[in-house]
Each structure stands twice: as C-alpha cells, then as structure tokens.
Amino acid sequence: MHEFSIVEALVQRILSEVRKQGDPRVDSIHFRRGSAFSEPALVQAFEVLARDTPLEKARLVIEILNRDFTCPRCGHSQVVQSDDLVGHMFVCPGCGYVEEIDEAHDLELLSVRVA
C-alpha cells in the first residue's frame, strides 16, 4: 500500500514542525489528493500513524485534485476521476489513446491548524 508510506512521510513532517512549537494539539489538517489516491487508505494510515501524538484528534479535510484531459489524438475532453483510471493510466473513451496521469497518486499537504 503506497499510500501508507506517503502518509507516513507527511505525518513525520507535520510532527517535526509541531514539536518545534511545543507540541500543541492539532485541530485540523488539510490535504489535496490525486484522483487515484485511496481516501479510505489515507484516513486509515493517518489514524494509525497519528495515534498517541498531537495529531490524534485532528480533523482531516481532504479535497480531490482532478485533472482535465484533452486527448491529443481525437480531441475528447473530460475531467479524469478515479473511476476512469487503470492504475495511473487513463484510456481515452473516444479512441483508446493511453495517457499516464502521474499526479493521480499525489498527496499534498495544504495546511495544518493548531489549537
């Protein structure tokens, strides 16, 4: 589960910053995830990693980064959703052209709010 290692790195980064501020309780954490990044896996990994830390009671705000796609072959255009992906590949429904969607698996930390 690649999500776990990505969330682990972000949790460690947040904890490092929080500890510099004297370990205040964190109220909320705002993420943006790629359309192929599993939200249930993100939440589960966060809950496990945040246990017994200042992050434990933080509210997660998760938004989805969807990507606009325009096929270079046939011109078909749409917003790529997670259901449209095979792994990190998108197959154009108009002509079968295959496009790699790298940012589909991204997870970006947008903000951390402390008490």
**In the structure, what pLDDT confidence band is assigned to residue 76 with cuts at 50, 70 and 90?**
very high
The model's pLDDT over 77-114, given as tens digits with 9 standing for 90+, comes to 999 887 788 877 899 999 999 998 876 568 889 999 99
Helices (H) and strands (E) in the chain, counts: 2, 8
| C-alpha span between 44 and 30 (Å, rounded) | 16
Q: What is the pLDDT of residue 80?
A: 86
Read off the pLDDT of each residue in 62-82 and give the average, rounded to a whole number.
Answer: 90
Q: What pTM was computed for the model? A: 0.74
> Among the CATH numbers 3.40.50.720, 3.40.50.10580, 1.10.10.2160, 3.30.2320.50, which is that of 2-114?
3.30.2320.50
DSSP β-bridge partners for residue 80: 67
Residue found by looking up tokens 């509210």 in the block: 59
